[in-house]
């Protein structure tokens, strides 16, 4: 029998609405376990399939998470690792930290990264245009990493750098030998960050991103395509950040031209 009632919402959505309201007003607090499917079925006078459909709605909305063998839990609200223009400010140089570690330190977290790959590559035409390099030769260095705050993977990062800048520097090493990370090496090579261009989109993750970022169901990603521009107006780095939307935010404080 269909759960659709003529002129009304499906029963599963009605139940999902009631559970959502209970979560929003705090009757089911962040981190707590919801009643079992059997208990919810008894409470709402519904069959188990209807309860499962209601829970799936809340899962896709990112309000609850299913833990195998344990039950369904209200998602905890975590402090955001905020990414924005401020992270590149020279005022943090006295801290001795790279931009990502600055972001983590603001949240009381310890940052680290895992290198997935480093190699000389032929860029596609879009990247070649952005970096003003050849698209017909291996003219770029590509670095792929996953960045962690404590034990949580917060974003997957792919960086492309003109090979003429990267060749023979610490940029080709897994552990970049500079306390300010790749940006310290860029400065040693004469490229001071004068401007940034960030293009921001939101989307659902790919299966690979779900795996690397350990994404629960219903959590989208924020994609930031970042270009660094030096004091001479030349681009010297393009980085794609794929960020967990439940753990990241964007804060920009820039002059209005």
Calculate the alpha carbon distances from 193 to 83, 182, 185, 231, 235 in Å. 16, 12, 12, 7, 9
Is pLDDT above 50 for 2?
Answer: no
Which region, left, alpha or beta, applies to residue 24 given φ > 0 means left and ψ of -120 to 50 means alpha? Answer: alpha
Is pLDDT above 80 for 241?
Answer: yes
Q: Residue 225: which pLDDT band, with cuts at 50, 70 and 90?
A: very high
Q: What does the pLDDT read at residue 27?
A: 93
Residue 199 burial by CB count (10 A; 0-12/13-18/19+): exposed, middle or buried?
exposed
CA 146 to chain centre: 10
**Mean pLDDT taken over the chain:** 90
The tens digit of pLDDT for each residue in 195-215 reads 999 999 999 999 999 999 998
DSSP state of 244: E
Cα separation, 98 vs 103, in Å, equals: 9
Q: What does the pLDDT read at residue 191?
A: 96
Cα separation, 98 vs 95, in Å, equals: 9
Reference 65, options 218, 252, 238; nearest CA is: 218
Q: What does the pLDDT read at residue 3?
A: 52
Residue at token pair 């997935």: 116
Higher pLDDT, 18 or 88: 18
Average pLDDT, stretch 156-182? 93
> What dihedral angle (degrees, nearest 10) is formed by the CA atoms of 23, 24, 26, 32?
30
Is pLDDT above 70 for 25?
Answer: yes
Q: What does the pLDDT read at residue 203?
A: 96
Average pLDDT, stretch 17-23? 94
Strand partners, 66: 72
Is pLDDT above 80 for 176?
Answer: yes
Q: What does the pLDDT read at residue 6?
A: 45
Q: Secondary structure of 228-242 in the HEC alphabet?
A: EEECCCCEEEEEEEE
Q: What does the pLDDT read at residue 257?
A: 62
What distance, in Å, lies between the first and last C-alpha atoms of the chain?
A: 62
Q: Residue 54: which pLDDT band, with cuts at 50, 70 and 90?
A: very high
Higher pLDDT, 120 or 108: 120
Is pLDDT above 60 for 124?
Answer: yes
Average pLDDT, stretch 36-47? 93
Residues 80/73, Cβ–Cβ less than 8 Å: no
Cα separation, 60 vs 69, in Å, equals: 19
The kind and range of the H/E element at 121 are: strand 111-121
Q: What does the pLDDT read at residue 1?
A: 41
Is pLDDT above 80 for 96?
Answer: no
Strand pairing of 248-250 and 81-83? parallel
The tens digit of pLDDT for each residue in 140-162 reads 999 999 999 999 999 999 999 99
| Spatial CB neighbours of 89, under 8 Å, sequence gap ≥ 6 | none
Cα separation, 75 vs 205, in Å, equals: 19
Q: What does the pLDDT read at residue 8?
A: 78
């Amino acid at each position: 029998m269909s759960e659709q009632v003529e002129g009304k919402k499906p029963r599963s959505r009605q139940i999902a609405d009631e559970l959502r309201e209970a979560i929003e007003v705090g009757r089911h607090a962040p981190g707590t376990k919801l009643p079992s499917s059997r208990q919810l079925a008894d409470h709402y006078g519904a069959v188990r399939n209807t309860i499962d459909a209601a829970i799936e709605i809340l899962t896709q909305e990112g309000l609850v998470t299913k833990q195998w063998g344990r039950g369904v839990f209200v998602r905890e609200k975590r402090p955001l690792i905020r990414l924005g223009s401020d992270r590149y400010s020279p005022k943090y140089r006295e801290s001795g930290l790279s931009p990502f570690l600055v972001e983590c330190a603001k949240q009381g977290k310890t940052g680290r990264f895992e290198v997935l790959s480093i190699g000389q590559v032929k860029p596609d035409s879009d990247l070649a245009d952005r970096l003003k390099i050849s698209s017909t030769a291996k003219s770029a260095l590509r670095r792929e990493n996953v960045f962690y705050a404590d034990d949580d993977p917060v974003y997957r990062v792919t960086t492309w750098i003109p090979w003429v800048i990267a060749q023979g520097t610490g940029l080709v090493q897994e552990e970049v030998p500079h306390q300010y990370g790749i940006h310290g090496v860029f400065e040693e090579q004469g490229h001071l960050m004068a401007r940034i261009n960030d293009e921001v989109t939101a989307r659902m993750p790919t299966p690979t991103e779900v795996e690397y970022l350990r994404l629960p169901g219903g959590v989208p990603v924020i994609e930031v395509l970042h270009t660094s521009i030096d004091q001479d107006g030349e681009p010297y780095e393009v980085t794609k950040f794929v960020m967990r939307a439940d753990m990241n935010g964007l804060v920009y404080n820039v002059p209005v031209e």
